[in-house]
Amino acid sequence: MQRRKVMTLAALGLAAPTVLRAQGSWPDRPIRLIVPWAPGGSTDTVARLFQPRLAAVLGQSVVIENRGGASGSIGASEMARAPADGSAWMLAYDNEAPNQTLLRLNYKTMEDLVPVSLVATGPLVMTAHKDTPFRNFREVMEAAKQDPERLNYATSGVGGLAHIATTLLQQQNGFKLTHVPYRGGGPAVTAAVAGEIPLFMTNVVIVSQHIRAGTLRPLGVTTRGETRHVPGTQSFAQQGFGNFEAPTWWGFFGRAGTPQPIVDRMHAALKQVLNEPAVKSRIEEQGCDIVASTPAEARTFVAAEIERWGAVIRDNNIRVDS
């Protein structure tokens, strides 16, 4: 009896460090923060603005890994393969939702990943080059109805929220523009600023400086009303496009199966950092608004985005080669 008791205690002693490493002493090693986009984009920018403080609050280094490609799905696939031990996390962009319908993936967001927080949301903005005659988006629609598909608009790629939101605008209002997808926001901005393409639908983060400089003229934003990030520009809803709303967003995810105490601690640390005045102001200066939601709120939001934009993709037969 005594021997069995000693053996049981020994077994418990061997198991205890594993439990402690997984929960009580986490994080006990550098943390990977996967950014499924190339350096310099909006997701990378947002991540690098909160990364130093997150590392300080957690007491462990946080290393950003840029895993760009395939509309963010390469990095997300890497996240879905990561150990469920809190050693890897991901800051995703809004493409994560339409990717679930548009692409053939080896993972499912709502099954293989766990939403930790909706970090921030922001407006998409339709801009026109300063040399075009357009002053608002209703003028674009009227021109497109007179000469369907003559007007081109750029986005950072097929299947991104900018593309799908513009598709929904056309579907709901009976006009047609020609989509010109670029390989990322950088090339699209370059083309738009150079006047190579008249219209550009994008998040505010990468065009705010060009709007301020007057090179690109904002025609409409996808928030319900006007936004402080593009002052003086009416939303599509205010211009008579129904209740149209399509916020861009950034979300923080972990690996499904990660112990709940670790998810809770990461959420608490992230929420603290995002609400620090210095961090919050620097991120919001980029053209978005901090949300710092709960995991439950993030899960509800992401699931709704997957369903909503999946329907638009199916209704309009959007494909990666369209």
191 and 257 housed in the same domain: no
Among 186, 204, 221, where does a domain finish? Answer: 221
Quick check: is 241 in a domain? no
The answer, yes or no, to whether the previous bond of 98 is cis (omega within 30 of 0) is no
Q: What is the mean pLDDT of residues 179-185?
A: 88
154 and 111 housed in the same domain: no
276 and 216 housed in the same domain: no
Q: Report the chain's mean pLDDT, rounded to a whole number.
A: 91
pLDDT of residue 119 exceeding 90: yes
43 and 137 housed in the same domain: no
Q: How confident is the model at residue 194 (pLDDT cuts 50, 70, 90)?
A: very high
The enclosing domain of 18 has a CATH number of 3.40.190.150
Q: Give the predicted TM-score (pTM) of the model.
A: 0.86
Residue 2: per-residue pLDDT: 44
Q: What is the mean pLDDT of residues 296-306?
A: 98
Task: Calculate what percentage of the chain has a pLDDT beyond 70.
Answer: 92
89 and 101 housed in the same domain: yes
142 and 189 housed in the same domain: yes
15 and 67 housed in the same domain: yes
106 and 208 housed in the same domain: no
Q: How many C-beta neighbours within 10 Å does residue 35 have?
A: 25
Residue 38: per-residue pLDDT: 85
180 and 35 housed in the same domain: no
Among 157, 186, 221, where does a domain finish? Answer: 221
pLDDT tens digits, one per residue of 203-231: 998 898 999 999 999 999 999 999 999 99
Among 186, 221, 256, where does a domain finish? Answer: 221
Counted domains in the chain: 2
At 200, the amino acid letter reads F
pLDDT tens digits, one per residue of 228-273: 999 999 999 999 999 999 999 999 999 999 999 999 999 999 999 9
Quick check: is 320 in a domain? no
> What is the span of the domain harbouring residue 172?
124-221
22 and 170 housed in the same domain: no
Residue 42: per-residue pLDDT: 85
132 and 118 housed in the same domain: no
105 and 11 housed in the same domain: yes
Q: What backbone torsions phi and psi does residue 15 show, to the nearest 5 degrees?
A: -75, -30
pLDDT tens digits, one per residue of 59-114: 999 999 999 988 899 999 999 999 999 999 999 999 999 999 999 999 999 999 99
